[in-house]
Every structure is written in structure tokens, then in C-alpha cells.
Amino acid sequence: MASLLAQPLDTPEGTAPAPVTVTASELLGVVQQGTTLLFANAETTDRTVAAGERVAAALGTRVTIFPRWDALVAQVESDDGHRSQIARVAPVGIDMNKVLESERVIEGLAERRLTLREARAEFTRIAALPPVSLGRFALAAVVGACGLAVVYGAVRPSTFPLIALSAGGGVLLRRALSRVSSNLLLQPFGAALLAGLIGGLAQRYDLGSPQRLIAVCPCMLLVPGPHFLNGLIDLARARVALGCSRIAFALLVMVAICGGLLLGLWLLGGDLPISPPTRSVPLAVDLIAAGLAVSAYASFYSMPWRYLPVPITIGALAHAIRWFALTLGTSIHAAAFLACLFVGLVATPIASRLRLPFAAMSFAAVVSLMPGVFFFRMAGGLVQLSKLGASADPGLTSAVLAEGATALLILLSMGLGLVLPRLVVGRPGPGAGGLR
């Protein structure tokens, strides 16, 4: 069997370390354990690849990682040529705690504080860590959905209990569906369907707001923002196939959300207005509500409690930038770009320092800026157009196009603002002192 030479972890001071034999299979095994944990839980592709290279470099050899949508291929140079190994994994999860723990083990392995056997045992333990507890998940959903409702201008007291019921019920439904099906689109569809049904009831009995926030806000919690951002980062790094796959998956989730929401509303005779009335929110209220929404998303992504103040502070400051930009007459997508550029500039070094996944942390900070509500209204308008056919008012067609264009411009502006600082920071080589 092909073997590699590595230095022992502990040697007496003043003595030369004796070589330790590590087989290519063992090296590939530990590299793939660590990189698949990162890749599957929303770490950027650059940092995933750099992690595998750094472990191999610490053991005196070189590993090349080839990331694909459904697999990570690792190739090592051994005595008898190249040896490859494929790990089946898709980057569809988001778990900051697993990423943080995996980065810690990789750091220990690279600095030779852990043996290969200890590292593999740690990776096995991390892979078995449970998701965020049901209680924290449900509470975060209720807080986040109500915070978003305040940001969007909710004023009626009856709105908030119904939003809380919808968001909390959606969490319970998602956990139940996860136990009976592994389909990745069923959970967002089911939660959105429940939100649509409750929103339809509220509309029938005039309990909500003209913006249909009871239906929309719980669905905003389902928007797969980190997958959009990681896809944009991959495209910017010329990983076209992987980037397109990430964005295609995120769009499929959005289609499932829109389908569930509109179906629930339709079953009870409800609808989504194309151009609902808006309400300005005072800065202090906006910052508090945005902070609540940020804390909710960070909880969804299993961020350890001690790190929660970081994205909350960044998100509140980003909202202040957006609020002031809008008051100065800046367009909504330009204001989103400025806010996200600030988040990108601040979150890039912080995510590297704390070893947290950039996409998950930065998206949590700007969640209330996501144009999900525009996507939902555009989908509702398309349904109306299909019903009216040739008799549809040209104004309705223009409104649908405007909603779609606004959503696309906001999404692109947010992506550019968040990704631009990442492009300035080059990817470290195998011998770098840390992961960026």
C-alpha cells in the first residue's frame, strides 16, 4: 500500500523527529472527513479546499480537492503515483456549530496537537451533533418572523399572534416532515403552505394587514440566502458548474416556497397584492426589529450563543446604513448594496477570525434586506395573469415585471456588496497560517 511520511506530534526538545508512516488511504480519509463537514454545512468552497490542503501540508504532502455539487474528490500524490477518493456530499446544509468545531479540529491537526486517530474520532463526533434544539428553533422562528413584520410596517396587534402561530407551527411541521422524508423541497413547501393557509384565514376575516404579512413573514424565514451567496462566490471564482448548481438549488427552494404559499392562499380565497401600501418605520424601531431577525437566523444556523452579538451588531449597523440611504433618496437596490458592502467588509475578517462560515453569518446579518417578498408578489401576479389571460390589464403586467426586476436588482446588489470584499482577499496557500 502506498505510504507517506509525516513527523510525530511530540518529540523531546533538541532531538530530530522520527518519520511516522501515514498511508495515502489514511490521509485521504481524514482530509475528506473534515472537508465534507465544511462543504455540507455552508462553508465557502475556498475555505473548504484550503482546509484539506492545510492538513496535507502539515503531514508533508499535497492533496488536491476537486469540489462538485454532489461530491468532493480528493487526490494525493503517493509513492506509486496519484491516488483519488470520492466522498458523496451535497452542500445543502447550514450548521455554524459543525463548521466551527470542524475548523477547530483542522487547526489542531495542522498544528500537530491532534493525531490522525484523534482527529477522525472528533470528526465522527461532530458529524453526529444534533441540529439546533426544537425549542430554540421555534422561539427563533417566532421572534424572527415578528421582527420582520415590524421592519415591513406591521401595526395591527392581531398580526403578531398569527405570525407567531404560523412561524412556530412551520417549525414543528418541518421537523415532522424531516423524519418521514429526505426530500429537500418538502419542508419549505409544507411550512409555506401552512403560512398561506393561516394568511388566507386572516385575510378572510380581516385580521391582518394590507401587505399580507401574516402569510409573507413566516415564508421569509425559509429563503435560502447562504446558498445564493455561496453560489455567487463560486461564480466569481470561475467555479461555474458548482456556482450554477448552488444557485439552481436555491431557486428550486424559492419555487417550493412560492408554490406552498400561493396554494395555501388560493385554498382559502386569499391573494397577494402586487403593490401593497408601505409604511416607514422609525430608525430605532427598525434597528431593534432587524436585530431580532438577525438573532433568529443565527439560531437557525446553530450559531453558538456566545457569538450571537456579532451578527446582531453588524446587522443593526447595516440597517442603519440602509435607512439613512433611503431617507436621502437612494434607490432600494442601491441602499441594499451599501448596507451589504459594509457587512461584507466587516464580516470577511471576522468570519475568518472566528472560523465561522461567511455566507451563513453575513446572510444572517442582512436577512431583512432579502427581496423574498418581491419574489412572492411576482409569483402571485403571475398567477393572476394566467387567470385573466388576454383580458389582463396592461398595468398588471407592468407591475409583475417591476416586482421581478426589483427582486433581481436587490439580489444582485446584495450579492455584489457581500462578495466584493471576498474577491479582494486571496485564497491562502497550503502553508498559510490560517484559513480565510
Condensed to tens digits (0 to 9), the pLDDT of residues 391-419 reads 878 888 888 898 889 888 998 898 889 88
In angstroms, the CA 114 to CA 109 distance is 5
> Cell 482527529 appears where?
119
**Of the ranges 69-73, 325-329, 335-339, 385-389, which one carries the lowest mean pLDDT score?**
385-389
Rg, C-alpha atoms of the chain: 24
pLDDT of residue 362: 83
- Which amino acid makes up residue 51? A
- pLDDT value at 430 more than 60: no
What is the dihedral sign for C-alpha 83, 85, 91, 95?
negative
Cell of 243: 456556482
Q: Which residue in 328, 322, 324, 371 sits closest to 343, CA to CA? A: 322
Tens-place pLDDT, residues 203-241: 888 887 776 889 999 999 898 888 888 898 899 888 999
Cell of 19: 518519520
In angstroms, the CA 298 to CA 305 distance is 9
- Which amino acid makes up residue 256? A
In angstroms, the CA 355 to CA 365 distance is 16
SS3 per residue for 232-295: HHHHHCCCHHHHHHHHHHHHHHHHHHHHHHHHHHHHCCCCCCCCCCCCCCCHHHHHHHHHHHHH
pLDDT of residue 278: 67
pLDDT of residue 138: 93
Tens-place pLDDT, residues 165-193: 999 999 999 999 999 998 999 999 999 99
Strand pairing of 20-23 and 3-6? antiparallel
| Structural contact between residues 292 and 144, judged by C-beta atoms closer than 8 angstroms | yes
- The residues, any chain, with a CB within 8 Å of residue 281's CB and separated by 6 or more, are 150, 151, 153, 289
Tens-place pLDDT, residues 70-94: 999 998 876 666 788 899 999 999 8
Helix (H) or strand (E) holding 214: helix 213-220
Could you give the count of Cα atoms lying within 13 Å of 252 in the half-sphere of its Cβ?
Answer: 13
pLDDT of residue 273: 80
Tens-place pLDDT, residues 36-62: 999 999 888 988 999 999 888 887 788
Rounded to 10 deg, the angle between the 213-220 and 134-151 helix axes is 130
Give me the long-range contacts of 181-189 (CB less than 8 A, separation at least 24).
184/92, 184/249, 184/253, 185/252, 185/253, 185/256, 186/256, 188/222, 188/253, 188/256, 188/257, 188/260, 189/256, 189/257, 189/259, 189/260
Cell of 16: 530530530
Distance of CA 190 to the CA centre of its chain: 20
- DSSP E strands in 27-151: the ranges are 63-67, 71-78, 81-88
Distance of CA 247 to the CA centre of its chain: 12
| Structural contact between residues 61 and 40, judged by C-beta atoms closer than 8 angstroms | no
- The residues, any chain, with a CB within 8 Å of residue 234's CB and separated by 6 or more, are 45, 240, 242, 243, 246
- Which amino acid makes up residue 90? A
| Structural contact between residues 218 and 163, judged by C-beta atoms closer than 8 angstroms | yes
SS3 179: helix
- The residues, any chain, with a CB within 8 Å of residue 247's CB and separated by 6 or more, are 227, 228, 231, 232, 235
Could you give the count of Cα atoms lying within 13 Å of 392 in the half-sphere of its Cβ?
Answer: 17
Going across the sheet that includes 63-67, the strands are 63-67, 71-78, 81-88
pLDDT of residue 277: 63
